[in-house]
């Protein structure tokens, strides 16, 4: 055997060993937890044969606490590039079978190289997180490594899509990288995120809580909003991410890929003409409206279980990717509160950063009142949504279906926040407040002056009718040019699709500035 043959044989053997990570026993332990290995996950995520690995032979440089006894190739993270449905992406997958996936300085260097390259070429970066946290044996070097990753997350923000999959533990400083990315997905029962674990919580606060209760997928998907998606298993998680990517562009200079559809924009839906109940306090299915308007009824919801009084997600209209924001009258009457405002603002800003037009469906009675909301800064949080819409320069089409009252009317992509084309259904009520509250303000003294209860009730009903006749329709707004047209509900898809066609070449700038100061 020649020297070259021996060298090639040694290379092949070393690659094979590196691909085994921590070895067969640790791989078995990973499988026993219902988890895939880093490489198995990448094989599911990427197109077959498309993965090209970077830095397979990188080793850690730590000599403390016996770490010099083992220097596995790859050092606990698999990095590289590949394609998803033919589109270039950059990936890193932490390998829990190697030192528990703990972050070393060299691991951070591998991750940062992938992120730097992704920015240079303008492609999404996807991180698969499965790590015990900072590698304690490396001390400040591990912390510096996290800092380097966080800085890359910040610099990448708004330039390329960043997606985090939490496939196992993610604790301490490790949670901040996913929190800085655009979308975070967690896997039920096998992943968790928290700053301090149950043992520390118990010692500091006395509270007894397990990992799932403290930072499981369902908790973060429904209560904190940290997770945008919760998956049943790792296969489901990867399928969701592939679907998400189909709505997104490669970077902030591009547009999302067109998706061919046989669904004509001229399709009408007679059911929309009767979907609004006669009783203004009765709910209806906003999802039915969304499905009627978008291509093929396909709607990919984001933050499905969090702040359910507002709906956000992606769809296609005439083949073009759009972001949908809609009040949900079936939950808290569609009122805006702290969490709904945060949820909506984050989504609107993402869409604006990546050139995804916005469709807003409005049925909002106002902001939620009470001390809990006021003490929790509903004012500031509501201002986030207002700011996001006012700042956005992508095409914005708004349809008011029913209620649009007070400050909430302004916040939901009104004309004054540079809404491009604003429509209303005939059932739209655009006013400072509803009739019940308005009559009490406008005619309170007159009502109180009438001592006869029957006459008092008659006055209230008369004034409510007068108020409803004046404001509980969209025509005052139309007369003043605050909406472009009052449309028949059955034609909503056609009018929305044509509006986005008209706005496709929209160009709008914001004043020159270093950066904005969104109310946080």
Q: Is 471 left (phi over 0), alpha (psi -120 to 50) or beta?
A: alpha
Active site residue 505: no
Active site residue 407: yes
Pairwise CA distance, residues 453 & 42, whole Å:
73
Residues sharing a CB contact under 8 Å with residue 517, sequence separation 6 or more, in sequence order: none
| Closest by CA position to 429, among listed 345, 495, 486, 389 | 486
Q: N- to C-terminal Cα distance for the chain?
A: 67
Query: Which of these is catalytic: 122, 407, 437, 440?
Result: 407
Query: Which of these is catalytic: 408, 428, 435, 499?
Result: 408
Total Cβ atoms within 10 A of residue 168: 22
Active site residue 307: no
Task: Note the helical H segments in 452-491.
Answer: 453-471, 475-479
Query: Which of these is catalytic: 82, 132, 145, 172?
Result: 172
Active site residue 133: no
Residues sharing a CB contact under 8 Å with residue 62, sequence separation 6 or more, in sequence order: 68, 104, 105, 135, 137, 138, 141
Cα–Cα distances (Å) from 247 to 269, 289, 351, 426, in that order, read: 25, 20, 10, 32
Quote the radius of gyration of the chain (alpha carbons, Å). Answer: 27
Query: Which of these is catalytic: 122, 147, 158, 173?
Result: 173
Pairwise CA distance, residues 106 & 138, whole Å:
10
Cα–Cα distances (Å) from 442 to 104, 373, 439, 459, 464, in that order, read: 67, 27, 5, 12, 10
Which tokens is 335 given?
């009122």
DSSP string, 74-138: TTTEEEEEEEETTEEEEEEEE-TTTGGG-B-HHHHHHHHHHHHHHHHHT--EEEEE----B-GGG
364 contacts 335 by C-beta, under 8 angstroms: yes
CA 451 from centre of chain: 55
- Mutual orientation of helices 140-156 and 105-121 as an angle, nearest 10°? 10
| Closest by CA position to 119, among listed 159, 86, 162, 147 | 159
Residues catalogued as catalytic: 172-173, 407-408
């Amino acid at each position: 055997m020649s020297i070259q043959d021996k060298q090639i044989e040694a290379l092949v053997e070393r690659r094979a060993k590196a691909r085994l990570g921590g070895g067969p026993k640790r791989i078995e332990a990973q499988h026993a937890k219902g988890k895939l290995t880093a490489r198995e996950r990448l094989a599911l995520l990427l197109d077959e044969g498309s993965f090209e690995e970077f830095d397979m032979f990188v080793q850690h440089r730590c000599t403390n606490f016996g770490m010099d006894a083992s220097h596995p190739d790859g050092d606990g993270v698999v990095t590289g590039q590949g394609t998803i449905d033919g589109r270039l992406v950059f990936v890193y997958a932490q390998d829990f079978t190697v030192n528990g996936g703990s972050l070393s300085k060299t691991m951070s260097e591998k991750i940062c190289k992938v992120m730097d390259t992704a920015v240079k070429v303008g492609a999404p970066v996807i991180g698969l997180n499965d790590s015990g946290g900072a590698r304690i044996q490396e001390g400040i070097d591990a912390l510096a490594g996290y800092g380097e990753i966080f800085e890359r997350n910040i610099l990448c923000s708004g330039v390329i899509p960043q997606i985090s999959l939490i496939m196992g533990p993610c604790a301490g400083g490790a949670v901040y990288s996913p929190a800085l990315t655009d979308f975070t997905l967690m896997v039920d029962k096998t992943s968790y995120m928290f700053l301090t674990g149950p043992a520390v919580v118990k010692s500091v606060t006395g509270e007894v809580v397990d990992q799932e209760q403290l930072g499981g997928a369902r908790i973060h998907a429904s209560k904190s909003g940290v997770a945008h998606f919760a998956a049943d298993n790792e296969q489901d998680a990867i399928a969701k991410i592939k679907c998400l990517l189909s709505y997104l562009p490669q970077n902030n200079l591009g547009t999302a890929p067109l998706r061919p559809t046989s669904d004509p924009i001229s399709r009408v839906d007679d059911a929309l003409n009767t979907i609004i109940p006669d009783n203004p306090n009765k709910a209806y299915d906003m999802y039915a409206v969304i499905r009627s308007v978008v291509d093929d009824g396909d709607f990919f919801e984001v933050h499905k279980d969090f702040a359910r009084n507002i709906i956000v997600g992606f769809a296609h209209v005439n083949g073009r990717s759009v972001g949908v924001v809609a009040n949900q009258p079936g939950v808290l009457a569609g009122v805006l509160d702290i969490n709904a405002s945060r949820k909506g603002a984050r989504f609107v800003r993402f869409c604006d950063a990546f050139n995804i037009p916005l469709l807003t469906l409005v049925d909002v009675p106002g902001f939620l009142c009470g001390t809990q909301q006021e003490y929790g800064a509903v004012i500031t949080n509501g201002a986030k949504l207002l700011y996001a819409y006012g700042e956005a320069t992508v095409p914005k089409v708004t349809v008011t279906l029913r209620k649009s009252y007070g400050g909430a009317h302004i916040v939901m992509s009104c004309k004054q926040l540079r809404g491009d084309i604003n429509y209303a259904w005939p059932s739209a009520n655009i006013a400072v407040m509803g009739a019940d509250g308005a009559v009490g303000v406008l005619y309170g003294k007159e009502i109180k002056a009438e001592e006869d209860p029957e006459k008092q009730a008659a006055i209230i009903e008369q004034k409510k009718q007068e108020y409803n006749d004046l404001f509980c329709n969209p025509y005052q707004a139309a007369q003043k040019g605050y909406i472009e047209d009052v449309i028949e509900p059955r034609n909503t898809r056609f009018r929305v699709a044509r509006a986005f066609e008209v706005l496709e070449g929209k160009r709008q700038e914001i004043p020159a500035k270093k950066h904005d100061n969104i109310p946080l």
